Structure 1
Amino acid sequence: MGFKPLKLAIALTCLAHVQVQAATTMWFNKTTIIPIGNGRLGAEVFGQVPNEVLVLNEDHIWSGSMNDPNNKNCPRALPSVREAIWNDDLATAQNTVDASCMANPISQQVFQTAGNLTLAFPSVTTSSITAYNHTLDLATAIATTTYTTRDGVQFTRTSFASHPDNVIVMKISANVTGKVGFEAKFTTPMDTPAFSASGNSLTLTGRGVKHTLPVSITFLARAEISVVGGSVQPGGNGDTLVVAGANEAVIRIAIDTNYVRYNDISGNPEAKVSGTLAAVRNKTWQELRDAHVEDHSGLFGRVDITLGTPTKSTYLPTDIRRTLPGGADADADLFALYAQYGRYLGIASSRKTEPSNLQGIWNQETNPEWGSKYTLNINQQMNSWLSEPLNIAETLDPLWNLISELAERGKVTALEEYNITRGWIGHHNTGIWRDSAPIDAAYYGMWPMAPAWLMLNVYEHYKFEPDNVDWVKNFAYPLMKDLCEFYLDLLVVAPKNVEPQQYLVTNPSMSPESGIGTYNGTQVSLSYGSTIDNSLLRDLFNHTVEFATLLGVDGDFSANLTSTMRRLMPIRINSKGQIQEWGRDYNSKGSDAHISNLYPLFPSAQIDPRLNTTLAQIANVTLNGRGDSFNGWPTAWRANCYARLLDGEKAYYFMKRLLSLYSYDNLWSANLVFQIDANFGGANAVAEMILQSHNGEVHLLPAIPSAWASGSVKGFRVRGGFTVDMTWSGGKLENAVFKSTSGTAANVRYKDKVVRLNLSKGGQTTLGISDF
């Protein structure tokens, strides 16, 4: 995902001890990227000396423009595609889809950087530095870099991205008056940039770099610098600001674009940025900081996690903790830090505007790997897994907006790509233009089931907050009903010579990004009736019926969904004793990153070892057959799956791999390049190992590994409308405090015993080991 670190100016040994909170502080004795963000704005703080760099992002700076990508030839081609698939002529089917159904252009647009703000400190040299520390406090969302020069002056840079004030802020100070001096300058790889400096203000304007479509996004970035003592004035070339002889300097950065909505780019970046900076210009550093900390801690401070007893390793720099010679067992709280870091990244990259993309919000490139898009065949869903159980559900608001707008465009795609007049559809990728047509190639993109997976996130939001009936009525149910209508019209009856039971199936169908094999020289993925398709439909139809019943509406429609579900293909077992991936047993899968046929285990709950040991055992065989995987997000998915199988040791094995093998020094997850989904998926796996709440039960300590024999959590959320605080030691529960947010009942399991819990809204009770 374009994680190509800038050349680091220094790599210093630790000459100052930093006492940290093990689960909420990251620190380094060398330069590395620390991400900060307010949901819309992001910055990478490198902590470099003598030339610091802030890589800047705004979540609407994308290439391209809105267009009509739908391929109107597809409805005429689909009958022949289906016939070829019934006849197992998969190469012909896939080639026909490539020729007649893929979007134009074939690639979607990409998320792009705004550029960099560079700060050059001419009075500082690398060789003159001691006592270097580069720190991120997750609890306050403040990054701090400190170092001491040979003459004994300690410099401090403190940075944050304020959600309430909509700016990125950095303060540069020294413990000796008159010592702060630097030159500030914008740089950017974007098209038609213009740079100017006036008074204490530095401005960059630019536009997106072309990627298959004409550019329509324009943006403006402005930094205003105020000083205490000394001076700030434009440099000789008119594109820099020079600070000299100051006691401290405060930089306020605002960035905005002409983007208003996917179909409206009438915004005025200059007016937006000017208004933002005018609102903060007279606020002191302390006022800006206090407002930021209050806002951030209101979300982040809801949850505490402690795993194990701190050791001498616990207070080492984060990058050293990640790869301890003794292994992760020497530092259990590293996993608490990883979970809290996932929460931090979610708050920083998904609030109010766009949801976290493949890189969250942090991107240095104009054409990043995989476009830094919203990939909807696992990655975007994984980005959202942690938000409900780890108590930052507000970070899902941008996802609801994306889904709503995708549905608007998806109505046209349903008609033009499938000749279906009811409902809406999307495929495996989208972006800020809310494109809903199939992209990339038939092998990857001819998969109209992604919205059904997104609807699981929608359904879960209600399950965690079951008194939010208005949200179901006004948002969730209308979207789900419309989507069901599309799928009812999409499903086809399998011929009797193909499926004697004549199931209703999807055709074409795929198991995302998993190949079947090579047919006539073509690597193919398209077939019919994949397990994930059937499982997604079963969830969507069931959940829609549940919501219709809740609202007391659409009885006939619900009956139709129920009867349709009876005609869906059941989960099948292939000749290897695994969950079969497609309608036919192609028996071709060994090691693979994607485990889409395990969707029924996780994130769904159709396979549950407490309810069906046979299917659970087969899921375990399937997981083992898929191998360890060699990237971040597949490793995180496996950790969640093993947690659902109640195998804490195997889940822990994958969490150790995630941290030691597939994380960078700053704990960003690695998928060849930086890709953030594993950060979120891994954080959720920690939660799943400690507390689960699906299929009508809250399960305490379902998959605790021996390395986490003692610990405590506060503020975890469970389905049914409860928050839970829990403490355990020696691998055994001590107590669990339940607080009701919705006034519903719960069945609470610990080991093999279940107790019934009834609380009024706002009520609280404590369960101890004696209650089980």
Structure 2
Amino acid sequence: MILKTLVQTIIRKTVYEKITSHIYFSHSIKFNVVCRQSSLSTNPVVRPTGQSMGRGPPNWEWHMGAMIFGGIDKERIQLNEETIWTKRDEFTDKPDGHKYINKIRTLLFEEQYEEAEKLVRRHLLEDRMPNNTNTYQTLGDLHLDFEKFEQISQYRRQLNLENATASVSFISDGVHYSRESFSSNPANATFMKLSADKPGRISFTASLNRPGEGENISVDGHTIIMNQKVDNKDGVTYETRIQIRAKGGTLEAKDKSIKISGAAEVVLIQVAATDYRGENPTQSCKKYLKDIAEKSYDDLRKEHISDYQSLFNRVSLDLGTSDAIYFPVDERLTALRKGAEDPALFSLYYQFGRYLLISSSRPGSLPANLQGLWESTLTPPWNADYHININIQMNYWPAVVTNLPECHLPFLNFIGQLRENGRKTANTLYGARGFTAHHTTDAWHFTTAQGQPQWAMWPMGAAWASTHIWEHFLFTRDTTFLRNYGFDVMKEAALFLSDFLVKDPETGRLVSGPSMSPENTFFTPRGNRASVVMGPSMDHQIIHHLFSSVIEAAKVLNAEDHFTRKITRQLKQLTPSEIGEDGRILEWSEDLKEAEPGHRHMSHLYGLYPSSQFSWQKTPELMEAARKVIEKRLKHGGGHTGWSRAWMVNFYARLKDSNEAYQNMRALLTKSTHPNLFDNHPPFQIDGNFGGTAGLTEMLLQSHQGNIELLPALPFQWREGSVKGLKARGGYTINISWSDGALTTAEIIGPVDTDVPVVYNGQAINVTINKGETTIILAQDF
């Protein structure tokens, strides 16, 4: 076979990959364009049933994803369904763990770290399962084996972000072939249309398989069926069906597959379901197919695009252009690594992040996991679970700021679902009320401390996650959401923290513990590595964030009570972030020597981002100390994982250092991005995509200090541009235009009549907003 590639003009917001060898697309697993289905609720704070969160079971949707590999003679469509999880064992709290907490605290206060960690391992940590958590797994693969094509030219594979369709096209012997795929939320199905510009040219065999064991595959008429109880019957039961609609030609069932010969056009429809939420997957699949039986492909496509664009089209971004837009993405990334400037590639990356969030998180779904939902194996890295010591939080950093509040809801709902197990963990391990969760969890919502002290002895996961509820409210101003659901979850997470705090016998101030700074270690006075301490800085910054949020929420709801007054007092007694002798913010309770100066986690900068405790206006000394933390981390190799580099972008944006924010954004693309724009941890992990999108937003707009700041970290490389549809706290919609590196105009649309301070280039003005009207601000107003 001869493969020729032709560089073609592409529109903005299109991911286009040029394929240069047959081996690349037939053997590549994770580096390919993706398409995905999601559900949509028009009300950002109400479930599809119309029930407010926390008022009964939601109307769950089953969500699917696919990776399109773009083969010619052989096409592989790797399939996903978000609820395909193993369930090998239940995680249980170590019984009577709370009886040892005071002893552990005493040892830590006495700096006997080694002895304290022995007790932690023995009495607090669950460490029975070799694979750590239950595992999210692939659904399987759809294979299309074609009759051999000859004389291939004009091959093109693309993902169109404007309409969420993936396509492959090429010419063979003078015939133009095309394959278009999309995954539709309204239809609960994934589609592929195969066509040619001459009749009777579509011939192939379709088959299903899964890289596991025990899958059952059968053919019923023009439908292939595969079902199984996964993981040796220790997981969910799934079913997927591939229905084939052909125009012309013949269909023949053949050895658990279907052969299509001489068709003019073929549409493949894939549906899938599991029993994760108690449904019958066979009945669900039949229903999905029945519901769309009378609809044409064109109508289903229009329905899908309308649904998707109702979210995607809320934000547009133009950072400038160059001739690079005429080249495929892999070549543009290569050119960027060699020093080229390509502002449009950053815009593309940004919108790709929004596309991924729309595609992996809609009301009624599970939250996006470590791989979003695109996982091609049975043993994904870190089990593709929910790491709640930054990764799932980072997945949702861009949700509300990029005008996708509905996409935030799966995570917010998931937090509430941790409460049942989290209450048991709080009581059993710590003798505390409220609920807690540690560094990781899975689809079954376990909350106990699981693993080694270096990552497991950290009961702050639920607390950090709960701060997202308040941030969601700040952007949406939805008091119904806050009153009916959010406040109760936040308050219960804060109740655990209130009970968890104790007085430091030396300072008399409140500290948390036993705990640690996520996944980092220090050297003890004896020269050993340890991780568990009393009063790590990140703990206190999270506590400050959550307590402050609960106190403010109580004021909004007129719900102040004995508990809110108590945490107000505790907040005043809480040990603050401190600066060490070298000018950096202390990571632990004292100036301990870090074992890994270039560690990927920058946990003690939580107060800089995502929280707003550090600012140039109120705490300039902490801002300078935070900068020194970042500089030393980078000097020693920090930022080497995709998500860590994305966090750096957000840090520098908050520091208003436009050059460093840009250089780290650039490093994210040049060092931690695969050819299809997936984040490279390594391996693929989706949080870097989401963190990068959030970071770019922070460079253009910030609202965490009670004002709206325009272009706080705009780099000179993006001298001409505009952004429309961003959201600021207070529910404002913001449009910004700039030229020659300076603001030209800004537009603000507010939900209520109010005055709001607006800042640009260090200058502040007070702007009057009339509800629903557009207020225009000019550069000369500052």
Contact 1:720/1:744 (8 A) holds in 2: no
Q: Which residue of 1 aligns with 2:259?
A: 242
Deviation at 1:408, TM superposition (A): 2.2
Deviation at 1:418, TM superposition (A): 1.7
**Aligned with 1:724: secondary structure?**
strand
1:315-353 deviations in whole A, cap 9, x for unaligned? 210111112067565211111111100000001111121
Q: Relative to structure 1, is the Cα distance of residues 413 and 280 closer, same or farther in structure 2, using a 3 angstrom cutoff?
A: same
Contact 2:361/2:368 (8 A) holds in 1: yes
Q: Is residue 163 of structure 2 the alignment partner of residue 140 of structure 1? A: yes
Contact 1:381/1:454 (8 A) holds in 2: yes
Deviation at 1:752, TM superposition (A): 1.9
How far, CA to CA, are the matches of 1:591 and 1:281 in structure 2? Answer: 57
Contact 2:336/2:670 (8 A) holds in 1: no
Contact 1:720/1:745 (8 A) holds in 2: no
Contact 1:171/1:248 (8 A) holds in 2: yes
How far, CA to CA, are the matches of 2:186 and 2:303 in structure 1? Answer: 7
How far, CA to CA, are the matches of 2:339 and 2:272 in structure 1? Answer: 40
**Aligned with 1:486: secondary structure?**
helix
Q: Which residue of 2 aligns with 1:312?
A: 323
Contact 2:523/2:593 (8 A) holds in 1: no
1:647 to 652, 657, 661: 657
Deviation at 1:767, TM superposition (A): 0.3
Q: Relative to structure 1, is the Cα distance of residues 41 and 522 closer, same or farther in structure 2, using a 3 angstrom cutoff?
A: farther
Q: Which residue of 2 aligns with 1:465?
A: 476
2:627 to 620, 626, 650: 620
Deviation at 1:275, TM superposition (A): 0.5
Deviation at 1:203, TM superposition (A): 0.7
Mapping of 1:275-290 within 5 angstroms? Answer: 275-290=287-302
Contact 1:737/1:766 (8 A) holds in 2: yes
Deviation at 1:491, TM superposition (A): 1.0
Q: Relative to structure 1, is the Cα distance of residues 324 and 12 closer, same or farther in structure 2, using a 3 angstrom cutoff?
A: farther
Contact 1:221/1:255 (8 A) holds in 2: yes
Q: Is residue 748 of structure 2 the alignment partner of residue 738 of structure 1? A: yes
Q: Which residue of 2 aligns with 1:232?
A: 251
Q: Which moved more, 1:358-367 or 1:589-598?
A: 589-598
**Aligned with 1:714: secondary structure?**
strand
Deviation at 1:75, TM superposition (A): 1.3
How far, CA to CA, are the matches of 1:387 and 1:323 in structure 2? Answer: 29
Q: Which residue of 2 aligns with 1:477?
A: 487
1:139-196 deviations in whole A, cap 9, x for unaligned? 10000100111x1111100000001101010001111100001111111023421111
1:752 to 759, 762, 767: 762
Mapping of 1:29-68 within 5 angstroms? Answer: 29-30=19-20, 31=25, 32-39=31-38, 40-64=63-87, 67-68=90-91
Unaligned 5+ residue runs, structure 1? 1-9, 261-265
Contact 2:652/2:660 (8 A) holds in 1: yes
Deviation at 1:766, TM superposition (A): 0.5
Deviation at 1:79, TM superposition (A): 2.1
Mapping of 1:308-387 within 5 angstroms? Answer: 308=320, 310-324=321-335, 327=338, 329-351=340-362, 352-387=364-399
Deviation at 1:623, TM superposition (A): 0.6
CA RMSD of aligned residues (A): 1.7
**Aligned with 2:593: secondary structure?**
coil
Give the number of aligned pairs. 742
Unaligned 5+ residue runs, structure 2? 26-30, 39-62
Q: Which residue of 1 aligns with 2:5?
A: 14
Deviation at 1:741, TM superposition (A): 3.0
How far, CA to CA, are the matches of 2:753 and 2:228 in structure 1? Answer: 52
Residue type of the partner of 1:594? H
- TM-score normalised by the chain length of structure 1: 0.94
Mapping of 1:225-624 within 5 angstroms? Answer: 225-235=244-254, 237=255, 239-260=256-277, 266-308=278-320, 310-324=321-335, 327=338, 329-351=340-362, 352-420=364-432, 422-466=433-477, 468-495=478-505, 499=506, 501-517=507-523, 523-588=529-594, 590-624=597-631
- TM-score normalised by the chain length of structure 2: 0.92
Q: Which moved more, 1:399-408 or 1:640-649?
A: 399-408
Q: Which residue of 2 aligns with 1:176?
A: 198
Deviation at 1:29, TM superposition (A): 3.6
**Aligned with 1:314: secondary structure?**
helix
Deviation at 1:304, TM superposition (A): 0.6
Contact 1:328/1:656 (8 A) holds in 2: no
Identical aligned residues as a percent: 32
Deviation at 1:393, TM superposition (A): 1.3
Q: Which residue of 2 aligns with 1:721?
A: 731
Contact 2:579/2:622 (8 A) holds in 1: no
Mapping of 1:655-674 within 5 angstroms? Answer: 655-674=665-684
Deviation at 1:521, TM superposition (A): 8.1
Q: Relative to structure 1, is the Cα distance of residues 769 and 325 closer, same or farther in structure 2, using a 3 angstrom cutoff?
A: closer
Q: Is residue 208 of structure 2 the alignment partner of residue 186 of structure 1? A: yes
Mapping of 1:37-116 within 5 angstroms? Answer: 37-39=36-38, 40-64=63-87, 67-103=90-126, 105-106=128-129, 107-116=132-141
Contact 2:136/2:385 (8 A) holds in 1: yes
Q: Which moved more, 1:364-373 or 1:409-418?
A: 409-418
Q: Which residue of 1 aligns with 2:54?
A: none
How far, CA to CA, are the matches of 1:13 and 1:129 in structure 2? Answer: 6
How far, CA to CA, are the matches of 1:59 and 1:502 in structure 2? Answer: 48
Q: Is residue 767 of structure 2 the alignment partner of residue 765 of structure 1? A: no
Deviation at 1:24, TM superposition (A): 4.2
**Aligned with 2:326: secondary structure?**
coil
